[in-house]
Amino acid sequence: MQFRVLGTVAAVTDHGDPLPLGPAKRHSLLAVLLLHPDTAVTVDRLTGALWEEEPPRHSRTVLQGHVSRLRALFTEYGAAAQGIELVTQGPAYVLRLPGAVVDAHRFEELLGAARSLREPGEAVSVLRDALALWRGPALAGTVRSPLLENAAHALEELRLAAVEELAAAHERLGEHGAAAAVLRAEAAANPLREPLIAGLMLALGRAGRQSDALDWFHRTRRLLADQLGVGPGAVLTDAYTALLRADAAEASVPSAPVVAGAVAGAGAPPVAAPGAAVTPDPPAGPAPALAAAQLLPRRPRGFTGRERELAALDRATAGAPGPIAMITGSAGVGKTALSLHWAHLRHADFPDGRLFVDLRGYSPAPARDTAAVLREFLLALGVPAEGMPGTPESLGARYRELTGRRRMLVVLDNARDSAQVRPLLPGGEDCVTLITSRDRLGGLVASDAARPVPLAALPAAQSTALLAAVLGPDLVAAEPEAAVRLAELCDGLPLALRVAAARLATGPHRGLAAFAGELSDEHTRLDLLRVEDTGVAAALGLTVRQLPEPARRMFHRLGPHTGATLDTCTAAALADCTPAQAAAALDQLAAAQLVVEAGPHAYVLHDLVRLYARSLTPGCDRDGLLRLLDHRLHTLLAASAAAEPGGEPCCALPPGARPAVGIRTFDDRAGALAWYSAERDALRGAVEAAAAAGLHDRAWRLVLLQWPLIVWQVRDGWVPLLERGLASAELDGDPGGQSRARALLGWVLSEEGRPAEALVQLERAPELAALAGDTAGEAIARINLAVALTRSGAAERDGARERDGALDRDGAGEQDGARERARDLLVRALALAERAGHTETVTLAHQHLAHHLLADGSPAEAAAHAARGLALAPRLAAPRRVALRTLYGQALAATGRTGEAVRQLGDALREARAHAYEEGEKAARSALAALGVLTDR
C-alpha cells in the first residue's frame, strides 16, 4: 500500500489502484495523519483541519466515524501486513507506517540525496525521479483549512526548489535548452517568482535565445508594476544586465559542424544536429542517401497534466538498447495524445526522424496491412517507389536495415495485439519504439522486453485543467465545484471531457452546473457525451467488438450492476455462469482495459463503462437484475452472520429466490464490516434498482440485511434508506418486513435525537410483528420502543428542569409511567425472545433491562440481568460483551462489590481496545474513573 499527498490525497494498492477513501473530510483526516507519521495528532488539531469554520456540535462523532472507516479500509486491504495501523492514543490518533510508503517522504529523501551529489548528471536523474512523484497541487481534494493550506504551501515551495535545482544541474552539464524547458512551465505558473524567471532568462540566453530571454524580463517587469506596483528586484535586474553584457565575440563565432566521433567517446554512438545525416562507422557497402523521416502528426491541442506518465516514458525509453515503451489504457483515456505530446517534447532526441502510423487495431475501418505500413515507412526513409522491395519479408528486411543506422522514434498507435506490432519494430539500438494499445500486449513484454506505461483516468485537478484548456480558464474558475462534478461524471476520461467541453462550447448557452445536472441522469449521459462521430459509446464499442466471445458475453451481462466494484462471484451471478468462468472472462475484460483489477478476484467498473454495458440490453434486463439482487441477498446473509456471530437472520430469502452460484466468505466481523462499508453505495443502488423494477420483496430485505453496519455506524445518514425500505415493505404487503423496518428506523431516529419521530415508527412495530407471527421481531420492536420511551422521558424531564427548575407532580407522574411502561416492554421482550430461542435477542433484552434497572435504582436486579446476558455473550460479537460487562461492573459497584466491579470493567476496557471499539472503551474507562481507578490512555 502506498500513500500520496503530492497531488490528490490518495491511498493506493501496490498495483496503483486507488482505495475508495470517500468524502473530502476523510481525505483531509488522512492527509494530516500522513503529514505527521508516527506522531500523536490530537482530536482538536484534527477537528481544526477538517472544518474551515466553527465545527458542529457533533464534530467528534463525525471524526470518529471517519477514523473507523479508515481502519476498516486498511483492514480490507491488508495494511497491517505492511506495518500500517491507525491507533488511538488517549485524546489523539497515531498513524504508524514506514516512511517509504508516503510519496512526500520519498520526495524529500530524493531531494536530499540530489543535493549531496557532486556529479550533475546523477543529480539530474535523481531530481527527475523526485519530481515525477508529483501528480498535481499538493493535498488536492482536502478541506480548505488553514492547517492544510499552510502544509500544501510548504510542500509546493519544496517542489519549486527541486525544479530550480534540476535546472541548475542541467546548466552545469551545459544543457541550457533542457534547463530552459524545465523552468518555462514553472515560470508560466509562477509569473511573479523572480528567482525562477531570472534562472529561465539566463538559461535561454546561454542557449542562444536572447530575444526570448529579454521578452521574459519585460513581461515580468510589467506584471510586477501592474499587480504589485513595484519594479524588478536585484536578482531579476542582475540577470537582465548579464544578458545585455553577453560576450559579443562568442555570439559572432560560427558554429562548427558536428563530426561523427568528434564528440562521442570511443564506441559511443555518433552525435548529429537535428535533421542531419549521421556518418556511421565504416559501412559494409555504399550507403543510401538517408532522409530525416517526419510522419508525426501535429502536437495535440489543450494537452494538460500527465507529468507522472511523461516521466515514466522517459524512464522506459532510457538505458536499454532499442527500447520499446507501451502506453496501455482504456478507450478515450488519452493514449494517442500522450504519445504525440511526448514525441514532440523529445523531438531533439531523434535527429533522424519520427515515424507514425495508426494501426487501426480498434477502429471502424479495417486494420492496417503490414506490407502497406512498411512501404509507407520506407518512402519516408527515402527509398524511391521504383526501388521498393516486392515481398513483405524483403520490405521488413529493408526497413530494419535502414533503421539500424538511425537514431529515430517509431510510434505505432492503436495496436490490436503483439503480432500486429512485431514486424514493424525497427532494427537499430538507437531507435525508440512507442506503442499505444487498449490491450496489455503481454506477449510483447515477454518476447521483446517492452516496458508498459499504464494510463489511467485523469485525477480531478488535471480533469478541470483540461476543461479550462478547452473552454477557457474564466469559465471553469467561475464554477469550480461544477467543473469538479463534471469531471467526476466523465470518469476523468479525456475523450469524455473533450466531448463535454465541445457541447458546452458549441451548444446553447448554459453553465457548467446546468450541464453537469443533465449528465447526472444515467439514462441520457452517453447520448450527451457524443458530438458528431465522436463519443464515449463509439470508442467503447470498438473495444467490445474485438473481445473474445466469453468476455463479450460477460460484458453484455454487466448492465444491471449497481456499483463501481465487482467481484467474480457477483459477475458469475450476473452472467449466470460459474465463478471460474466469470474469473476468466473478467481477466479478458481487464486485458482490454474495460475493467480494472483492484485485487484478487476484485475489479473496478467505471460508470461510463457500466452505462455502456447497460445500453447494450434494450429495456430492463429483469432476469439479470433478479440474479444480481438474489446474489446480493445471499451475500448479505453471509456478511451479517459473520458480523454478528450467534445472531439470527432478520429475514428469510423471498419466495422464488435464485440459489447462490458462489458467495464470498467472511473470516470475521472486521472483514464483514469492511465489506459492508465498501459496498454501501452499491447496495443502495441495488435497493433503488429493485424498487424501480417493482421488486419490493427484494428491496426491503436488501435494506434490513445491512443492519450490522447500521448499528455500528448509527449516526451516519441511514434514515432515507430505511424509509425506502419501509415503503417497499408496505408495497409488498409484508407486516414482518414493515415491523422490522419501523423498529430499525425508529431506533436510528432515536439515536439521532429525534424522539417524537422515533416513537411514531416504534409504536406500530410490535403489533405488526405480532400480526406476522414474528416473535423475535416483536421482541426487538418492544426493546427499541422501550429505549425510545426512556430517552424521550429523560429528555422531557431535563428540558422541564432547565426551563422551570423542577417538575410538577403531573409531569413527574407521566415520567414514572413512561419508565414503568418501558420496563414492562423489556420484560415482555425478554419472554418473547426466550420463547423464540433467539440468543442474540435474549442477550439484547438482558442488556437493556440491566441498563434500565441500574438507572431506576435497582442495581442488584441490574447485575443479575447483566450476568445472565454475559453467560450467553461468548457466542456474540465483542461490542455486545463489552456493553454487558461494563453494565455488570457498574451494577456491582452500586451494590458495594467494588473489587469485582473493577475486574469486570478492566476486562471490558481490554476487550474494547482489542477490537478498536472506541465507544465501549470510553464507557469502561469512564466507569473505572468513577471508582477512582485511573487508566492509561
Radius of gyration in angstroms for the set of CA atoms belonging to the chain, rounded to a whole number? 34
- Pick from 656, 604, 655, 659: nearest CA to 631: 659
Residue 619 pLDDT: 61
Joined together, the cell numbers standing for residue 77 give 486491504
- Pick from 370, 348, 346, 350: nearest CA to 359: 370
CA contacts within 13 A on the Cβ side of 657:
20
pLDDT grade for 246, boundaries at 50, 70 and 90: low
Residue 272 pLDDT: 28
Residue 289 pLDDT: 41
Weakest mean pLDDT among 447-456, 533-542, 583-592: 533-542
Q: Indicate if the pLDDT at residue 912 is higher than 50.
A: yes
Give percent above pLDDT 90 in the chain. 24
Tens-place pLDDT, residues 330-377: 888 888 889 999 998 888 888 888 898 888 888 766 678 888 888 888
Q: Indicate if the pLDDT at residue 495 is higher than 70.
A: yes
The residue that leads in pLDDT, 639 or 228, is: 639
The 8-class DSSP code of residue 302 comes to T
Q: Indicate if the pLDDT at residue 323 is higher than 50.
A: yes
- Mean pLDDT across 292-299: 76
Asked if residue 677 lies in contact with residue 69, where contact means CB atoms within 8 angstroms, the answer is yes
**Whole-angstrom Cα distance, residue 440 to residue 436?**
10
- Pick from 880, 818, 821: nearest CA to 847: 880
Tens-place pLDDT, residues 772-796: 998 988 998 999 899 888 877 654 5
Neighbours of 825 (CB within 10 A): 26
Residue 271 pLDDT: 28
The residue that leads in pLDDT, 349 or 508, is: 349
Residue 867 pLDDT: 93
- Mean pLDDT across 248-257: 31
Joined together, the cell numbers standing for residue 26 give 476523510
Residue 701 pLDDT: 95
**Whole-angstrom Cα distance, residue 412 to residue 450?**
13
pTM for this predicted structure: 0.55
The residue that leads in pLDDT, 410 or 230, is: 410
How high does pLDDT run on average in the chain? 83
Tens-place pLDDT, residues 651-683: 889 999 988 888 888 988 888 988 888 888 889
Residue 247 pLDDT: 38
Tens-place pLDDT, residues 586-614: 888 888 878 878 777 888 887 788 888 88
- Pick from 213, 212, 374: nearest CA to 293: 374
The residue that leads in pLDDT, 349 or 620, is: 349
**Whole-angstrom Cα distance, residue 517 to residue 524?**
11
Q: How are beta strands 10-12 and 41-42 bridged, if at all?
A: unpaired
The 8-class DSSP code of residue 313 comes to H
